[in-house]
Structures are given as C-alpha cells and as structure tokens.
Amino acid sequence: MVRLLVRALATLFGTILLASSGIFILIHLSGDPTYGFLPVDTSPEIRDAVRDRLGLNEPLWRQYVYFLQDAFTLDFGYSWSMRQSAEQAVLQALPSTMLLAVLGTISAVVVGVGVGVASSRPRRGLGEWLISGATLIGLAIPGFWLGTLLILLVAVELNWLPSSGNSGWRSLVLPVVALTLHPASMIARLVRANMREVSGAAYVRTAHSKGLSPRVIQWRHMLPNAIMPAIGYVGLHAASLIGGTIVIESVFAYPGVGRMALQAALERDMPVIHAFVVFSAVMVIAVNLVVDLLAAAIDPRLRIVPGVAHAAG
C-alpha cells in the first residue's frame, strides 16, 4: 500500500511537471495570448497594459518558474477571460463532469460485464453473430456521431428527453448513453474472450463436477479470474473520461469542465487551461490508484508484487 502511494505521488509529480511545461510552451508558441481574450481592435496601449498586469512582459524563464510554482501550489491565479479565479472556475464545473463520467463508467461496466458473461458460453447461431456484430458496431461508432443521432431521434423527433443542458436526471440520459456504447462494447468483448479462455481450467471442471449451476460457475468462479483485463481497461477509460468528455459536453451543450476547458483553449486563457490539466492529472492518478487496489483485492496474487496490478490491464 505504501509503495503504491509513493509511486502514485512520484507519477503525479512528473505528470504535473511535464503537462505544465507542455502547456506553457504551446501557449507561447501560438502567439500573443492577449489576442485570445481581448477584442481584435484593442489599442496597443491597452494590450501592453494587460500584458504588464498579467506578467506577460516578464522574461520567459521567470514566467516559467512562476507557472510551475502555481502548478505545485494549486494557485493558478485569476482567469484571463472569466471574472473569477481559475481554480474556482474549474472546481465549480468539475462536479458536473464527474457525475457524467461516473454514470457513464458504471453503465458501461454493468452493460459490458452482463453482455460479456451472457455471451461467454461457446455456441454458434444467430445470437452469437448478433452479439459480435453489436459490439463491433459499438466500437466503430464515434461518440459525437451517436450523440447527434440521439438528439435528432430521441429529443427532436420523439421529444422524449431534453437535447441539452443540465436541468435534472432526464438531461443526463442521452450523454450517458453516448458515453456508454463504446466502452461497454470493449468490456463485453474482453470479458467474453477471457471467460472462454478460463472455461477449461481445472477449478471450472471441479465446480461442474460438484453440480453447481452454470450461472454460479460463471459469476462466482470464472468472472473474478477473467475480469482483470477489463478492470485495467475500465481504469484507463474512467481516467480519460475526466478530460475526454469535451466532445460529448459540446454536442449536448452540457455545462461541464471539459466544455469550459475547450472555451478556455479558444480564448488562450492559460490559467484556466493550466488548472484544468493539473486537476485532471490528479484525478487520473487517483483513479489508477483505485484500480490498482481493486485489482489486488480481487486477485490476491497481485498483492505479492506491488505494481503488477496496474500492468494487468
């Protein structure tokens, strides 16, 4: 446990350092940041005054040092385009994105594991082809395209659910569905393949010889040994959702941190972008730590060699 925490902290330190350096370089390579949030016809005098107030006239090396100091103290300063501090802006929008990411991950796990276990028994026929085709289609359909189709069909044509915003649980349904299809299809294929791989193991034959029902054998004996690759994938997917909901939030006009970060990038609002990336890095490391601990709890063999749980994915 201690070694996992030390490794997570070291990874977090390196991630924040590299991410902050990348943001600093890219923002300055893209030109004068004030052209992102000031009107084009702003006078040179006002533009120079704004640069001086924001410290953009300082030498680059000094700006870089201050930039790293902000990252490791979680004090990102005042947003250049919003009327609040950068960390306050990110923390206000983060719960909405976290809710969307958690619901999307839970629904993907429930659907993916259920379909994977149900289709794991080797058999030929129409059902086998339908499940394989459905999971392949789920992997192939982009989330933004699925989201657009859901808006046109469910929200516009049928008028069953709202097409945008965050006005209650009904406005979460379509974004969650759009976030669920791809990971659920991947989880289903991983679980099905590994369930079939362990179906010939000695402990499975022993369970059959004891007269246990197929359902008990599948869920209690086979699934814990076949789910490790899926857990690794779920950890990576859940971590990526924190910053990867930008497209879905934009399609559904959902007021989350991803949509806010996209707007900040368009306006070259460096404090907000910086805060978003650092907080996302913290959440990614935390999710991966939870996945390591969960994998070790499921498979006791992984407790012997710290760090192997993460590699299992």
pLDDT in tens, 79-98: 877 778 888 888 888 888 88
Tokens read off for 80: 């250049």
* H or E element at residue 25: helix 2-29
pLDDT at 303: 55
Model confidence at 309, in pLDDT bands (50, 70, 90)? very low
Q: Is the pLDDT of residue 304 over 60?
A: no
Q: Is the pLDDT of residue 55 over 70?
A: yes
Model confidence at 238, in pLDDT bands (50, 70, 90)? confident
Mean pLDDT computed over 14-28: 80
pLDDT at 35: 72
pTM summary value: 0.73
Q: What mean pLDDT is reported for the chain?
A: 79
Q: Is the pLDDT of residue 313 over 50?
A: no
The region of weakest confidence among 237-251, 259-273, 299-313 is 299-313
Please provide the distance, in angstroms rounded to a whole number, between the alpha carbons at the two ends of the chain.
Answer: 19
Mean pLDDT computed over 13-30: 80
pLDDT digit string (tens) for 116-165? 888 777 666 676 778 778 888 888 888 788 888 888 888 888 888 887 77
Q: How far apart are CA 204 and CA 213, in angstroms?
A: 11
The region of weakest confidence among 110-119, 185-194, 218-227, 289-298 is 289-298
Mean pLDDT computed over 34-62: 77
Q: How far apart are CA 175 and CA 258, in angstroms?
A: 13
pLDDT at 306: 46
pLDDT at 284: 78
Domain 86-311 falls under CATH 1.10.3720.10: yes
pLDDT digit string (tens) for 247-297? 888 888 888 888 888 888 777 788 888 888 888 878 778 777 777 777 667
> Bigger pLDDT: 273 or 30?
273
Q: Is the pLDDT of residue 312 over 50?
A: no
pLDDT at 80: 76
Q: How far apart are CA 24 and CA 68, in angstroms?
A: 9
Long-range contacts of 281-284 (CB under 8 A, 24+ apart): 281/12, 281/15, 281/16, 281/19, 282/12, 283/239, 283/242, 284/15, 284/239, 284/240, 284/242, 284/243
Model confidence at 166, in pLDDT bands (50, 70, 90)? confident
Model confidence at 53, in pLDDT bands (50, 70, 90)? confident
pLDDT at 305: 46
Which residues does 292 contact at the CB level (< 8 Å), separation at least 6?
4, 307, 309, 310
